[in-house]
Amino acid sequence: MNSCSPRPIVVVKSRLPSHCEECDARHRSVCNAIGTGDLDRLAAVATPRHIEKGETFIEEGQPAGDFFNITAGTAKLYKMLPDGRQQITGFAGVGHFLGLAVSDTYAFTAEAIEPIELCRFSRPKLRTLLDDFPLLEKRLLETACNELVAAQEQMLLLGRKTARERVASFLATRRAEASLCGNHGSTITLPMTRTEIADYLGLTIETVSRTLTKFKQEGKISLPSRDEITIKDPSWLTTTATGEDTASAFI
């Protein structure tokens, strides 16, 4: 055999990272219960989807066969009233895990109010994953408990708070969520319309606009654009949202 014969070339294929490894929202969702070494298993049961603004991806009353983890964008959650009106019950953003149901059907509708990126998990595939990763099941239980707390807060907001307190509570919640996403600045983005905010708060759009204008006149906020609000006095926002601001009793 000729000693100068070329040696066979061995091609080593590099492994491409999964979409779960590249997901910037993983640290904020239940998916962080899965260790880095097991992300391939998570990626195998997660189907990435893009949802356009105005598109519905959960429909009230339909079979609850899938779960959804939002990795970018915002959705509004609502229930339909008998007369055809919709009552917004919440807004879901990055890190929210939707679809947990106590029955076989979804209890609400979810619609994108801006372009959304999400991962869809079928119930059977996720069940298999939960059997192997107990911590993931624990995180889902925590999510369900947080939803119950949020529902109780919403009952308080609609039943006892003044218009001023309701709007301040909404802004405080959005500010806290922005902070979790790494935005620690004073300006928050509101992808929802004034009408959607009013629906969620149980107010008229006129009351929401009048209250925001009042806040601006008081020098507590500024409105750089239609979908942005700058909080100039964070401590005031907290006291107003919790009802400790005496001015809130008069609006």
Q: What does the pLDDT look like over 161-201, one tens digit per residue?
A: 899 999 999 999 999 888 777 676 789 999 999 999 999 99
Each residue's pLDDT tens digit, 62-96? 999 999 999 999 999 999 888 888 899 999 999 89
**CATH 2.60.120.10 region(s) of the chain?**
26-155
Architecture of domain 26-155: Sandwich (2.60)
Residue whose pair of structure tokens reads 């998916």 in the numeric block: 31
Q: What is the pTM of this model?
A: 0.81
**CATH 1.10.10.10 region(s) of the chain?**
161-250
Cα 247 to Cα 251: distance, rounded to the nearest angstrom: 7
Give kind and range of the element (H or E) at residue 76. strand 75-80
Architecture of domain 161-250: Orthogonal Bundle (1.10)
The alpha carbon of 47 is separated from its chain's Cα centroid by a whole number of angstroms, namely 18
- How does DSSP classify residue 149? H
